[in-house]
Amino acid sequence: MELGLVLSGGGARGIAHLGALQVFREWGLKPEIIAGTSAGAIIGALYAAGMEPEDIFEFIRSTEIFSLKKYAVSKPGFVDTEKFYNRFCECFASDNFSSLSIPVLVTATNLLSGSPVVFSEGELVRPILASAAFPGVFTPVRIGDAYYIDGGVLNNFPVDLVSGKCEKLIGIYVNPFEQKGYQDFKHSLSILERAYQIRASRDSLSKFEFCTVVISPQGLKRFGTFDLNNLETIYQLGYESALRTLDANRGTFEK
């Protein structure tokens, strides 16, 4: 395969993937295989289904899958992941990986065994919802006899799934790690999000060297995993970062 693409998790920051994919369109870059986790799994699957980045943006904004409006951070509560199922089914020709025009690999975590799982065939919608089921916020997703949660728990930047399968590999990483003070942690969810970030960063940064280039938009640190108030800005940061990175590697990725 000529070009592979890896999309990290990052919640609402995953909108930056869409800005980058807009640059792909403009440059005529066409991934032949996509691996994604969490937000990256959702966006990768929708893109592989033929949706334009702008249309995916509007779908995610209207679906509010990264919103906490129905989650009470001050007391126990969950967002029912299953409630998004029908909306996502509308985006695909059929609820099957075979309906995608580009092969997609989606990571999730088996809640009971604690093992990483990769979905690439059969049922499509529940695996991508499972990949984005942030623990403690979204309910685990049942697929067959097993229950799955966010793939980012064990593999937030699944470079390993496509490394060696393509001549060139572009990674887009949208889950930056920043220094924080204790006063920044306002409630239990912020602690949970921080723990997730620590684990994801330690695993992900070591994989950068296996990519031909990594697009890692600067400026994302100020946005939270569930920040739906700045989606246009996040999209633009992804666009600008991809443009700069590809332009700096013009010899590798010609228009």
CA nearest neighbour of 109 among 78, 76, 132: 132
Q: Catalytic site residues?
A: 38, 150
8 Å CB contact between 3 and 31: yes
